[in-house]
């Protein structure tokens, strides 16, 4: 995919974000071809640069995973020079994304309402933990904090086991996706109206969206979700089952798949059991169902079970490790893992965008930037403000 084929070619984004959610939002836009200018604190930069090990050179692997296709400048926004340079960037940009502590930029005259009034075409995207208003709006929010606040941790575990967070920053990356979607919608609207505007989202709102089914269930019947491990509430069989040498995930989510599964594992007698006659019955009697299925898989290897069910067109997967997934033939065929050339001439693996256009995945064009490597490119030589690890609160 060449530069002029990238959907957001020509769009300039000022990225005043750190940690995961904001950088993930701007990463989506960068992968789509936008010029993303990452504004970082002199001397320290984005907090994730120091989240490790592992490290890639002086940079953490997690920071590298979130910041390809971007340029980095260092500005001290508490200094007059840094503030002036920042306003220069905003004046020539289409989008500003920020996830600093609520009120931090507004205190410097850089809040959404002020900048959108001064630059009417600007799309200003504000990411917060608790939404920026309400009794908790001014508090900082982090992914595991909101997982606890929302109740998500209460049922993300096996029955009787300690509570656990979803370990892939699902709320951070979910908020980043909502932010990118909101920015794209605002840019689309701007083509008709000529005006940008304020886009807002938060970790709390993202949690509400992801938990929509559980929230509605509670509002309808008063039941809070409880730990069910790999199972899915109201669907059976739809969980991990033990085999002779491991585990498989079987997702027989309707009666036709249930019948095919029973035939494939040579258990047609289960079809005659009244407690398994339909999905509601199987969901109510899921403990008995699990025992019956595992008894019939106990003498079969994971590979055998997967082959039997795949031939019967029943959704099934071995319980892989991440490393198994990363080198899987399907992942390779889709070109999900890409490589990018670093400043030293080496190569760095990266996971590309999840979206393709005309069969082509947006490329990893540039490696994650060194701290401040593009400051001179955008501003020429001159003072950046004091070299410090202090700055406005993230």
- For residue range 1-50, list pLDDT tens digits in order: 666 689 999 999 999 999 999 999 999 999 999 999 999 999 999 999 99
Mean pLDDT of 372-388: 72
CB-CB contact of 313 with 256 (8 Å): no
Domains in the chain, please, with CATH?
3-210+332-379 (3.40.50.10540), 247-318 (3.30.1540.10)
> For the whole model, what pTM was predicted?
0.91
Mean pLDDT of 196-217: 97
* 308: pLDDT strictly greater than 90: yes
Q: Residue 272 has what DSSP assignment?
A: G
* 386: pLDDT strictly greater than 60: no
| From 58, 126, 172, 287, active-site residue | 172
Mean pLDDT of 345-358: 92
pLDDT digits (tens, 9 = 90+) for 163-183: 999 999 999 999 999 999 999
Give pLDDT, residue 385: 40
Give pLDDT, residue 345: 84
Mean pLDDT of 286-299: 97
Q: Among 126-140, 284-298, 380-394, which is the least confidently predicted range?
A: 380-394
Is position 245 annotated as part of the catalytic site?
A: no
pLDDT digits (tens, 9 = 90+) for 122-146: 999 999 999 989 999 999 899 999 9
Q: Which alpha helices (DSSP H) does 102-169 contain, by range?
A: 112-118, 143-150, 152-155
Measuring CA to CA, how many Å separate 280 from each of 115, 163, 180, 251? 54, 28, 38, 15
pLDDT digits (tens, 9 = 90+) for 241-285: 999 999 999 999 999 999 999 999 999 999 999 999 999 999 999
Place 350 in a pLDDT band, splitting at 50, 70 and 90. very high
């Amino acid at each position: 995919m060449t530069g002029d084929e990238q959907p957001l070619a020509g769009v300039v984004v000022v990225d005043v974000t750190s940690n995961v959610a904001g950088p993930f939002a701007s990463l989506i836009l960068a992968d789509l071809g936008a010029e993303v200018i990452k504004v970082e604190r002199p001397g320290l930069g984005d907090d994730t640069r120091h989240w490790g090990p592992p490290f890639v050179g002086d940079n953490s692997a997690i920071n590298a995973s979130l910041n390809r296709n971007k340029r980095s400048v260092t500005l001290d926004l508490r200094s007059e020079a840094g503030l002036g340079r920042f306003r220069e960037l905003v004046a020539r940009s289409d989008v500003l994304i920020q996830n600093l502590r609520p009120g931090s930029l507004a205190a410097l005259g850089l809040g959404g309402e002020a900048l959108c009034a001064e630059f009417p075409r600007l799309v200003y995207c504000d990411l917060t933990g608790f939404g920026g208003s309400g009794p908790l709006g001014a508090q900082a929010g982090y992914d595991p904090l909101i997982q606890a606040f929302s109740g998500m941790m209460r049922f993300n575990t096996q029955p009787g086991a300690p509570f656990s967070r979803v370990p892939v920053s699902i709320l951070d990356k979910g908020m980043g996706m909502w932010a990118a979607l909101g920015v794209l919608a605002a840019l689309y609207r701007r083509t008709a109206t000529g005006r940008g505007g304020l886009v807002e989202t938060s970790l709390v709102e993202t949690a509400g969206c992801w938990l929509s089914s559980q929230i509605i269930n509670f509002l309808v019947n008063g039941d809070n979700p409880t730990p069910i491990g790999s199972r899915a509430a109201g669907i059976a069989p739809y969980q991990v089952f033990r085999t002779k040498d491991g585990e498989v995930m079987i997702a027989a989510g309707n009666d036709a798949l249930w019948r095919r599964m029973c035939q494939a594992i040579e258990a047609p007698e289960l079809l005659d059991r009244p407690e398994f006659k339909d999905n509601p019955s199987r969901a109510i009697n899921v403990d008995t169902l699990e025992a019956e299925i595992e008894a019939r898989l106990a003498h079969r290897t994971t590979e055998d079970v997967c082959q039997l069910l795949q031939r019967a067109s029943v959704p099934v997967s071995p319980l892989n490790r991440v490393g198994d997934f990363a080198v899987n033939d399907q992942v390779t065929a889709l070109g999900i893992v890409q490589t990018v050339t670093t400043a030293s001439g080496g190569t760095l693996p990266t996971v590309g965008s999840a979206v393709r256009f005309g069969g082509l995945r947006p490329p990893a064009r540039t490696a994650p930037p060194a701290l401040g490597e593009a400051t001179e490119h955008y501003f020429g030589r001159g003072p950046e403000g004091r070299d410090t690890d202090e700055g406005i609160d993230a």
